[in-house]
Amino acid sequence: MESILYNQEGKEIGKIPLPENVFGVKWNADLLHQVVQSMQSNQRQGSAHTKNRGEVSGGGKKPWRQKGTGRARHGSIRSPLWVGGGVAHGPRSDKNYARKVNRRLKRQALLIALSKKLKDGEILFLNGIEMPEIKTKAAKGVIGALARVKGFEAMSKKQNAAFFLLPAKDTPVEKSFRNFSNLAIGEARNLNVLDVLQYRYLVITNPEESLKNLSVQK
C-alpha cells in the first residue's frame, strides 16, 4: 500500500509506503457510530437549565379560594400552567451525559476513519511545511498550491475543509494557519476520530514522523 507524496508547492515528489494496519482497516459503521456518539456526549457541557415549580419565586399563597369564584381551581402561581411558573420536564444542568469509551474502541474507530478517508481520496501526504516566520500570506500560498492538486480543489473554499496534521509542535506553522476559519491544525499524538470526520480533507505532513507519533501506533 502506497500513496503519492507532495511538497508544499503541490508538486509530486515521489511515493510513500503506508502501513496496512492503519490505512487498510475494514469498514465498521456500527463501531464508528458508537464511538463518535460517546465522544460527542462527553463533550456536552449540559449547561441548559430550567427551574421547576420548587425553584421559581412567589406562589406561597393559594391564588384564590377553591370554590365560588367561577374560575378554575389553582393551588399556586408556580404551577407549570401559569406564565412565570416552573417548567415541567425541562433540561437540567445536573444531568450527566458522560459515556465511557475504552481506549481500544477509540483506537479502532480512528483506524476505520483513516482507512475510509484514504479510500475516498481525501488524505494528502506532504513531505513537510516550512515556515521560517509567522506569515498568513505564506500559509495562503500553500493552501492555494494544494488546492490545485486533483481531488482537493475545495480546500480553499469549503467550510471545514481540511485538518493539517503535524508530527510535533511547530509554532510558526500553527500561527500562520490559525486565521483560516475553514482549516484546523494539530499534532499527530492528539488526533482523534472527531478531527478526521469533521473535516473533509486530512493533510498529513512529514508522514513518516506523523504516523510514528500517531496515537494508533501506541
Region 123-127: mean pLDDT is 94
Task: Say if residue 116's pLDDT is above 90.
Answer: yes
Instruction: Tell me the H-state helices in the chain.
Output: 20-23, 29-43, 103-119, 136-146, 171-177, 193-198, 207-213
**H/E stretch holding 98:** none
Size (the chain), residues: 218
Residue 157 or 19, more confident: 19
Cell of 121: 481520496
Instruction: Please report where in the chains the cell 501506533 appears, as a residue.
Output: 217
pTM of the prediction?
Answer: 0.79
| CATH homologous superfamily of 2-44+99-217 | Ribosomal protein L4/L1 (3.40.1370.10)
pLDDT more than 90, % of the chain = 74
What is the residue extent of each domain of the chain? 2-44+99-217, 46-96
pLDDT more than 70, % of the chain = 98
Task: Say if residue 194's pLDDT is above 90.
Answer: yes
Order of all β-strands in the sheet with 123-126: 12-17, 2-6, 123-126, 201-205, 162-166, 183-187
Residue 155's pLDDT is: 84
Residue 216's pLDDT is: 57
CB 91 within 8 A of CB 49: yes
Residues 25-81: tens digit of each pLDDT: 999 999 999 999 999 999 888 889 999 999 999 878 899 999 999 999 999 999 999
Pick from 113, 99, 123, 141: which is nearest to 26 by CA? Answer: 113
